[in-house]
Amino acid sequence: MAARERVYIVFHWAGLVFGFFVIVVFGAGFAVPSASEVLQTLGITLAVVGIVALIQSNDNLRGVDIVACRAVPVPAGEDVVLEVTLRNTAERERVGLSVRTGWRVKPRASTWVPVVEARQTVAVRVALPTKRRGKFAIPQMWVCSLRPVGLCFAWKVFPSAGDYYVYPVPRGRPLEVEVAESNAAEDDGSEDVSGHRPYVPGDMLSRMDWRVFARSGRLVVRALEEGRLEEVVLRWSDTRHLANLESRLEQLSFWIEQCVKERRDFRLDLGAGRAELRSDQMIACREALATFKEEG
């Protein structure tokens, strides 16, 4: 993501005030002949200070590069956190830097970096607000500085590189209500209830054997190894009763979050010939929901 070594620089408001003061000093030197030598000497000295500040502000960003920028998927409405890797390739430290996404940004979209030592690489985080699901390009990143004296504002711009994903808000009904019957339909129809035990209050409904209940009226749950929960299949078709595309995706997102909290393995089947994704492919699952488009 590193850009060409191009530093942009302008006078900050403090620098503009300083420049105006220098002009006033020079003007006073011409207006007051008796003190012209002293005032002109002072004006020249101040002008040199301003030039030195300009040079030092420019130098403070030399050798600073952004070498990587990435983010993990987040639900719509939450801030996506960009993980920005900043490297100082110079032989001297760089001080008073900020990493941001533009000229005028909200405070949360700007991160202060007090010092980056010579030849050091640091990781910083920059938060961006999100509103809707989808795949979005990471914006241009700026590294800025007002240091060392605060008279000049200098910045470097790094082009967009990569994308971030915003998946649907987890929202809907619990997994036990919606999916248990669908998964139970995959049973082979046997009435043998070996490997089962009687239902007791507090057992998860998703572990109940609904075919046994339908045939015999007995409430039994599948007996599992201690500490292990049954894998479930989260199907796009299981959400067909919901009103629209976004509601269906929010329901799938809710089931995934529930599986994560319960440490339950799952498979995500989005239909239409799409490959199934598993619980150990969490980022891929959320990216698939973020970019999902219904066929036809």
DSSP assignment of 19-80 equals HHHHHHHHHHHHH-GGGHHHHHHHHHHHHHHHHHHHHHHHHTTTTEEEEEEE---EETTSPE
* Residues 26 and 157 occupy one common structural domain: yes
- Choosing from 119, 146, 167, the residue where a domain stops is 167
- Choosing from 118, 135, 167, the residue where a domain stops is 167
pLDDT at 2 over 80: no
Other CB atoms within 10 Å distance of the CB of residue 17: 11
Instruction: Report the range of poorest mean pLDDT among 144-158, 191-205, 264-278.
Output: 191-205
Is 296 inside a domain boundary? no
* Residues 9 and 155 occupy one common structural domain: yes
Is 32 inside a domain boundary? yes
Is 141 inside a domain boundary? yes
Q: What Å distances lie between residue 220 and 160, 177, 181, 183, 226, CA to CA?
A: 56, 16, 14, 15, 17
* Residues 64 and 181 occupy one common structural domain: no
Residue 244 CA to residue 169 CA, distance in Å, equals 14
* Residues 162 and 180 occupy one common structural domain: no
Strand partners, 95: 115
Is 295 inside a domain boundary? no
Q: What is the mean pLDDT of the chain?
A: 83
156: helix, strand or coil: strand
Predicted confidence (pLDDT) per residue in 139-187, tens digit: 999 999 887 778 888 999 998 878 999 999 999 988 763 444 444 444 4
Predicted confidence (pLDDT) per residue in 44-84, tens digit: 888 888 888 888 888 999 999 999 999 999 999 999 999 99
* Residues 97 and 27 occupy one common structural domain: yes
For a pLDDT cut of 90, what percent of the chain falls above it? Answer: 41
* Residues 29 and 117 occupy one common structural domain: yes
Number of domains in the chain: 2
Which structural domain, as residue segments, surrounds residue 213? Answer: 175-290
* Residues 154 and 189 occupy one common structural domain: no
Model pLDDT, residue 270: 92
Instruction: Report the range of poorest mean pLDDT among 27-41, 51-65, 188-202, 250-264.
Output: 188-202
Q: What is the mean pLDDT of residues 18-47?
A: 83
Predicted confidence (pLDDT) per residue in 85-135, tens digit: 999 999 999 999 999 988 777 766 788 999 999 999 999 999 999 999 999
Model pLDDT, residue 93: 93
Q: What Å distances lie between residue 117 and 64, 69, 87, CA to CA?
A: 11, 20, 9
Residue 64 CA to residue 156 CA, distance in Å, equals 9
* Residues 108 and 186 occupy one common structural domain: no
- Choosing from 113, 136, 167, the residue where a domain stops is 167
* Residues 143 and 194 occupy one common structural domain: no
* Residues 257 and 129 occupy one common structural domain: no
Model pLDDT, residue 107: 64
Each residue of 114-141: b (16+ CB within 10 Å) or e?
A: eebeeeeeeebebbbebeebbebebbeb
Q: Give the global pTM.
A: 0.72
Is 53 inside a domain boundary? yes
* Residues 47 and 160 occupy one common structural domain: yes
* Residues 152 and 185 occupy one common structural domain: no
